[in-house]
Amino acid sequence: MLAPSLALDWPNLPVVRAEGLFLYGLDGKQYMDFMAAFGVVNVGHNHPRVIAAARKQMEKQVHGAVGVTLHESVLRLAEKLPDILPGHLDMFFFGNSGSEAIEGSIKLARNVTKRAGIIAFTGAFHGRTYGAASLTASKALYRTGLDPFLPGIYHVPYADPYHSSHPDDETKCVEESINALETTLNRLIAPSQIAAIIVEPVQGEGGYVVPPKEFLVRLREICTQNDLLLIFDEVQSGFGRTGEWFAAQAFGVEPDIMVLAKGIASGFPLGAVCAHGDLMNRWESTVHGTTFGGNPVSCAAAVATIDTIREEHLIENAKRMGEHLRNKAMELKRKYPVIGDVRGVGLMNGMEFIMPGTDRQPNAAAAKKTLNESLARGLLMYPCGLNGQVIRLAPPLIITQEHVDKAMNILDESLKSL
């Protein structure tokens, strides 16, 4: 039996096979996967090139204890990543998941600065392990019955344009968040006690929230001025999802540490803490380690994933299809007053449901009904946001215009049935 904490998630769809954009159900039906298995299969399910690379590696060596022994695929991946990462991130610690990489990033920040404080944001989702859950503030449910959390963490409001008290004014929205951050630095914890600010450059689970660029620019400035490390959690926004390799490039802001997972190896378990060698070399020896991290098969799949994204021009496709998808979603917004907001960057898009005629009052029931109706018509999407009132529109980056149109027609039909 599977533990209900995970296995009772919606919709519990029995699937027997997956290929490209599609999942094939036990019911004999084909489903379009518009959540890309939580932003993991950016190159599509079971991409032949990724499968071939993993299979080839499996025949040579499945496991290698990195450090004790070295294998080619982990070195090839470490050689390739700097070409696609922003700035000067050229040294890596590989683990198995997003949460584990988040743990690594805060251990790195605390260990090199010898400071405990960490600033995170409301709406953030950084994972389920204790350090990552301590940083998470997207839903109280994810923290219920788990106290005490890691000490030294302070949450300040994220710059969330749609939910700010000035929804039509990006400048004021940024000010609101930055003022709260400055109040925290002045009244609660001095910068001299802080190791890092950790932020999702586009929030995922918190509601697919795209902040104004100025928010990330100001965080960078505050970190530089106060000698704090800026950590970007690009677990969900990475690997082409935003129409650039990473959101950091989409916004033109460089972090000191970047955390990667999900799309990095197209479904094989892998996470990475990335930093410049000057910083990484200050992480004291053996303070952090792993048994499975940097697994040869996962690393081979990651190398093939990067090559695939590049050679199939998937970043350009994510940008183009994202624009097309948002245009279509905006048409639906004009048609159905239950849609309060459509937002996104690249193929990381959210559609927020509200009670019509109210001031942005969340309507999770309408979102849920739309999800169920769409699933019955062969379109799998998944909710996010505080109340589950946002639907993610985040298909694999291989999607064609024809399939975007087909999915948006299904969404239209589902909305009509509300």
- Using CA atoms, how far apart are residues 344 and 242, in angstroms rounded to an integer? 8
Decide: helix, strand or coil at residue 184.
helix
Please say which residue, 34 or 336, places its beta carbon nearer to ligand PLP.
34
Q: Is 273 an interacting residue with respect to ligand PLP (CB under 6 A)?
A: no
Near ligand PLP in 52-111, by CB under 6 A: 97-99, 102
- Using CA atoms, how far apart are residues 191 and 186, in angstroms rounded to an integer? 8
Near ligand PLP in 319-348, by CB under 6 A: none
- Using CA atoms, how far apart are residues 89 and 78, in angstroms rounded to an integer? 10
- Using CA atoms, how far apart are residues 326 and 301, in angstroms rounded to an integer? 31
Build a one-symbol-per-residue string for 26-45: x at contacts with ligand PLP by CB under 6 A, - elsewhere. ------------x-------
The CA-atom distances, in angstroms, between 334 and each of 56, 156, 337, 407, 412 are 50, 33, 7, 18, 12
Decide: helix, strand or coil at residue 17.
strand
Decide: helix, strand or coil at residue 91.
strand
Please say which residue, 204 or 373, places its beta carbon nearer to ligand PLP.
204
Q: How far is the CB of 129 from ligand PLP (least distance, A)?
A: 7
- Using CA atoms, how far apart are residues 236 and 260, in angstroms rounded to an integer? 8
Q: How far is the CB of 91 from ligand PLP (least distance, A)?
A: 21
Q: Is 126 an interacting residue with respect to ligand PLP (CB under 6 A)?
A: yes
Burial of 69 (0-12, 13-18, 19+ CB in 10 A): exposed
Q: How far is the CB of 17 from ligand PLP (least distance, A)?
A: 23
Stretch that binds ligand PLP, among 110-118, 157-165, 233-241, 303-311 (CB under 6 A): 233-241
Q: How far is the CB of 96 from ligand PLP (least distance, A)?
A: 8
Type and span of the H or E element at 58: helix 48-60
Q: Is 205 an interacting residue with respect to ligand PLP (CB under 6 A)?
A: yes
- Using CA atoms, how far apart are residues 147 and 143, in angstroms rounded to an integer? 7
Q: How far is the CB of 382 from ligand PLP (least distance, A)?
A: 11
Please say which residue, 270 or 315, places its beta carbon nearer to ligand PLP.
270
Decide: helix, strand or coil at residue 168.
coil
Q: Is 261 an interacting residue with respect to ligand PLP (CB under 6 A)?
A: yes
Residues touching ligand PLP: how many (CB under 6 A)? 15
Q: Is 194 an interacting residue with respect to ligand PLP (CB under 6 A)?
A: no
Contacts to ligand PLP by CB under 6 A = 38, 97-99, 102, 125-127, 200, 204-205, 233, 235-236, 261
